[in-house]
Amino acid sequence: MSGRGTGKLARLVLRRDRIILPIWVLFFSLFPVSLASSIKNLYPTDADRQEYFANNASNAGYRALFGPAYSADLGALVAQRMTDVKVIIALISLLVVIRHTRTEEDARRRELLAATPVGRQAPVNAVLLVTVLANLVLGAVFAAGISGLGLAGGGTLALAFALAMSGILFAAAGALVAQVTSSARTARGIGILFLALCYLIRLVADAGGPDSGLAWLAWLSPFGWLQKVAPYTDDNWALFLLVIALAAAFALGAYTLNGRRDLGAGLLADRLGRAEGSPALGGPLALAWRMHRVALLGWAVAFGVAGAFFGGIADEAGQNAGDNETARDIIARMGGHESLSDSFMVSLTSLVGLVGAGYAVQTVLRMRAEETAGRVEPVLATSVSRLRYAASHLFFTLLGPAVALLLYGVVAGLAYGASTDDVGGELPAVLGGALVQLPAIWLVGAITVLAFGLLPGSPPPAGWPWRSASSSASSVRSST
């Protein structure tokens, strides 16, 4: 199929993302540089880095979260901490591609393009071109920035290319799932599930160490391949061929399906609904539960897993700081406790509160999505009032984060208490520290609702401009 018009559509993608795209590229290229600078300042001597490396090697929680550190070299330690950055870059690239492909078809804007002399493959070409170039620019800016810290040469190029390839691979994956599914929501769900599965496989493989019986699982995950490149240690450039080959396979599949399927259709057709609704859907609250239950379950499970990890590593993280006064001062300022382990637990819980604000925003945006899709009018045509309908969704804005944080607090408190042999003392403290985040999270949700009401014609900001409200809860936790 023809790719005619790719250049014009690429300019359209750039125009639509003219604000968020530069922010994304600059932030995720400069944030790792800032992180590398922090590691350099925290562990300035070879002895400090050797101690940090030894502690990492013996800590299963650190290996699971960040992967292995292949040496005590500063560059290798920086490369280890880039594991989560790769995941975030991959997620953003995945969502950007779906937004400019399947979401456009759902909104019927793709039909307008189809009526013009634009090739069938041009929309996919355009978004992949922009996303690939954005990831390459991100890698180049990162390489330039980190070179100023004295980390240059092949290791820097390998690490920068690993960051870029994580985004490029999942951009291609996003293009594929956009063709397979028949809705943007399903495409996002499958894409994020694939990303989470790849991350989980790497996590399990690295948790037991290189000599465990599960270490071979890393070869089943693209994140495992990128980890094994080992920048600043081995610089295994050949492993990039695996990533490039998989990305090419995803892109080829996307182009093949895009050329054969009908506009608006997908390889996986939508499941037909029931001829008659369930008696359980007798009111707006039951309908809202049907819409939010999967997200509630997913967030609750994710928070529970985070609680197990954070609670399990907090005590050892405090001990690992050892005599490093800089690390102790930073974590203590974040938590405000004499115990470094307690301070570390407080700082992690504050970060969980920030993430929980995202869930509150998601519930509000789901309500807006129902309105823009035209599915609210039939509900309001019944005896359901606007206020009652909105309250049914806002109930989950309040309940959802509360359930997720409750589960996090219980699991983290049990794990932290078990590691310190003080479950009775730590469980209520950690649980209280988690639940104290709720008022700030609810405030973020309320402001998003306000933005939705004031700006009904445009998507409300994702709530994150007010994320400082959530971080303020950490100061409350410090005083409890």
267-318 pLDDT per residue, tens: 776 666 676 767 767 788 998 998 899 889 989 998 998 888 888 777 766 6
Q: Are residues 304 and 156 in the same domain?
A: no
Backbone angles phi, psi at 361, to 5 degrees: -65, -40
pLDDT confidence of residue 405: 95
162 alpha-carbon distance from chain centroid: 17
Q: Are residues 359 and 224 in the same domain?
A: no
Q: Are residues 296 and 259 in the same domain?
A: no
Q: What is the mean pLDDT of residues 73-90?
A: 89
Length of the chain, in residues: 480
The Cβ of residue 329 has, within 10 Å, a number of other Cβ atoms equal to 12
Q: Give the structural domain span for 375.
A: 282-480
Q: Are residues 242 and 341 in the same domain?
A: no
pLDDT confidence of residue 461: 46
Tokens of 382: 């019944």
pLDDT confidence of residue 151: 80
% of the chain with per-residue pLDDT over 90: 34
Tokens of 443: 């405030």
Q: Could you tell me if residue 111 is inside a domain?
A: yes
Q: Are residues 354 and 398 in the same domain?
A: yes
pLDDT in tens, 247-258: 999 999 999 998
Q: Are residues 225 and 295 in the same domain?
A: no
Rounded to whole angstroms, what are the CA distances from 22 to 7, 18, 138, 159? 19, 7, 9, 21
pLDDT in tens, 413-453: 998 888 888 888 889 999 999 999 999 999 999 998 988 88
pLDDT confidence of residue 320: 59
Backbone angles phi, psi at 337, to 5 degrees: -115, 155
Of the candidates 168, 158, 170, the one whose C-alpha atom is nearest the C-alpha of residue 136 is 168
Q: Could you tell me if residue 106 is inside a domain?
A: yes
Q: Could you tell me if residue 275 is inside a domain?
A: no
Q: Could you tell me if residue 277 is inside a domain?
A: no
Q: Could you tell me if residue 276 is inside a domain?
A: no
Cα within 13 Å of Cα(458), Cβ side: 5
Q: Are residues 311 and 247 in the same domain?
A: no
The Cβ of residue 192 has, within 10 Å, a number of other Cβ atoms equal to 17
Judged against a pLDDT cut of 90, whether residue 166 lies above it is answered with: yes
Asked which of 244, 270, 296 is the last residue of a domain, the reply is 270
Q: How many domains does the chain have?
A: 2
Q: How confident is the model at residue 475 (pLDDT cuts 50, 70, 90)?
A: very low
Q: Are residues 21 and 58 in the same domain?
A: yes
Q: Are residues 316 and 185 in the same domain?
A: no
Q: Decide if 331 contacts 319 (C-beta within 8 A).
A: no
Q: Are residues 252 and 205 in the same domain?
A: yes
380 alpha-carbon distance from chain centroid: 35
Q: Are residues 290 and 317 in the same domain?
A: yes
**pTM, whole model, 2 decimals?**
0.78
